[in-house]
């Protein structure tokens, strides 16, 4: 009996929806935005070659798109932040990217403390 109850609890927890279920995607998008900012900063300083920068832009944009496609709350502030990130050009200003990452971090922190 206890085994069945445990199995039921595990199954129900996997079905959770909403912001708490989206925390992992918020963190992934935030991390990708911060890394994108660093890549653009170093590229502007001439510290990275163009092939690497292009590859990283593709990889980071794909990571943000995957996170955006995975969230359950499409009308949330964090979903809008992800969508705004995806609309930016590859060579977006590092500070602009950091601002988006900071807003995602603030949302992430508020959900973690809830």
CATH code at position 31: 1.20.120
Residue 4 in any domain: the answer is: no
Residue 31 in any domain: the answer is: yes
Residue 12 in any domain: the answer is: no
Q: Are 104 and 29 in contact (CB under 8 A)?
A: yes
Residue 95 in any domain: the answer is: yes
**8-state DSSP, 21:** H
pLDDT at 11 over 50: no
Top-confidence residue, 10 or 111? 111
pLDDT at 97 over 60: yes
Q: What is the largest CA-CA distance in the chain?
A: 64
Could you read off the pLDDT of 23-46 as tens digits, one per residue? 999 999 999 999 999 999 999 999
Could you read off the pLDDT of 34-88 as tens digits, one per residue? 999 999 999 999 999 999 999 999 999 999 999 999 999 999 999 999 999 999 9
Residue 103 in any domain: the answer is: yes
pLDDT at 8 (0 to 100): 43
Residue 66 in any domain: the answer is: yes
Residue 5 in any domain: the answer is: no
4: left (phi over 0), alpha (psi -120 to 50) or beta: alpha
CB atoms within 10 A of CB 92: 17
Domain that holds residue 86: 18-113
Into how many domains does the chain fold? Answer: 1
pLDDT at 18 (0 to 100): 84
Residue 55 in any domain: the answer is: yes
Q: Tell me the C-alpha distance between 105 and 31, whole Å.
A: 9
């Amino acid at each position: 009996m206890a085994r069945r109850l445990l199995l039921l609890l595990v199954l129900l927890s996997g079905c959770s929806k909403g912001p708490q279920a989206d925390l992992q995607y918020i963190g992934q998008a935030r991390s990708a935005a911060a890394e994108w900012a660093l890549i653009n900063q170093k590229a502007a300083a001439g510290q990275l070659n163009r092939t690497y920068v292009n590859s990283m832009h593709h990889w980071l944009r794909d990571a943000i798109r995957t996170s955006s496609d995975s969230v359950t709350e499409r009308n949330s502030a964090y979903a809008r932040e992800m969508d705004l990130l995806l609309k930016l050009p590859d060579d977006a200003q590092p500070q602009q990217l950091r601002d988006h990452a900071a807003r995602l971090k603030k949302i992430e922190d508020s959900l973690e403390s809830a």
